[in-house]
A = this chain, B = another copy of it.
């Protein structure tokens, strides 16, 4: 009888989700797992019996190193909503049969809110049927919206990327000395953590962004135009960072006013895009000023070439800690990051009941946002700055970063 582990990745890719995968893999191997399987395309692929034996493909330390430095999800991902087992027992029976055939003892799932919901349901069902498979969740999201963890792996690197490109956009936008409003759209459906990271661009060598529009506070079109007009009186080039998820006081997303809101995913989430373009067009029409919109789009979540070493390291650590706790018998938990100190920054990991995490969202506290809803208070800088520290340079081959990829995908 073999004792095997399985690991899957779910939800939107990040620059460091593969570092967590490396952490789980190494953690399981060093604790004596016979094989570590990977689910191809998460739990959705697993239901189709799509797996890969990672013990065979990740067979050298160079592969592991490349894995840590490769963005996106090495195993593929999914946006699959597992029904509750009271609604559909069949799917659970099928899944546990597959796990039994693979001789799985430890099950790991790396993802955001929806993935923690999956761990929740699977561990509950396991209890129900007296299965002793251990189910552990590993947090991952550039949105940083999971509760009970100081922050989520993936956020630090995305925040570093956003701060960095904002500096470059600001430098670029000032060159002509003409009146110009640049509106930059940043991901984050309901939580503005990543948009707020645009404020990290401010430094001795950079004016920083002129306005933040966060999804935590209602967006008022008239106020936005008034503020922009006022800013244009003090300087020529204005750079505004807006969250894709900003909403009107009536609850509609701003991007719904544009013609780009078309899709809804498996979790019922609307596809948000076009917010910056809509606002930029409005600025041109109403203020008669030149304007440009920039959507950071997928670039911000897959920028493996500019990661935070702090983030890469923590992503690896939560993966390793998940293996440790699972092997010690824990189940139905998510590994959280606990901040020990700000300066010098130190953190550690701790397991949390996944039922207390799943389906909840951590937003920016309102007291962190200034009165006029245009900026973020210094407490945010104190919180976020340590998370973007240090770099992990890609391995450049023939001029471009080297990745690792799974041909089965």
* Interfacial residues, chain A to chain B (CB-CB below 8 A): 9, 13, 40-41, 45, 70-73, 76-79, 160, 163-165, 167-169, 171-177, 182, 200-201, 203, 205-206, 262-263, 284, 290, 292, 294-295, 297-299, 301-306, 308, 385, 388-391, 393, 396-405, 409
Answer whether A390 and B385 are a contact pair too, CB < 8 Å, given A172-B298, A284-B262. no
Chain B residue nearest to A297 in the complex (CB): B294
Answer whether A78 and B176 are a contact pair too, CB < 8 Å, given A164-B401, A169-B302, A405-B171. yes
With beta carbons under 8 angstroms apart, the residue of B40, B70, B172, B205 that contacts A302 is: B172
Residues of B within 8 A of A205 (CB): 402-405
- A396–chain B nearest beta-carbon distance, Å: 6
Answer whether A305 and B306 are a contact pair too, CB < 8 Å, given A172-B71, A385-B399. yes
Which of A41, A172, A397, A402 is the most central at the interface, judged by chain B CB atoms within 10 Å of its CB?
A172
Indicate if the CB atoms of B302 and A168 lie closer than 8 Å: yes
Indicate if the CB atoms of A41 and B284 lie closer than 8 Å: no
How many copies of the shown chain assemble into the complex? 2
With beta carbons under 8 angstroms apart, the residue of B71, B177, B182, B401 that contacts A76 is: B177
Residues of B within 8 A of A302 (CB): 168-169, 171-172
Chain B residue nearest to A41 in the complex (CB): B177
Indicate if the CB atoms of A72 and B168 lie closer than 8 Å: yes
With beta carbons under 8 angstroms apart, the residue of B171, B301, B304, B397 that contacts A403 is: B171
- A186–chain B nearest beta-carbon distance, Å: 13
- A196–chain B nearest beta-carbon distance, Å: 15
Residues of B within 8 A of A175 (CB): 9, 13, 41, 72-73, 76-77, 409
With beta carbons under 8 angstroms apart, the residue of B171, B295, B304, B403 that contacts A206 is: B403
Which of A390, A399, A401 is the most central at the interface, judged by chain B CB atoms within 10 Å of its CB?
A399
Which of A45, A165, A168, A182 is the most central at the interface, judged by chain B CB atoms within 10 Å of its CB?
A168
Subset of 5 A-B contacts with CB under 8 Å: A72-B174, A76-B176, A160-B400, A200-B399, A390-B396
Residues of B within 8 A of A73 (CB): 175
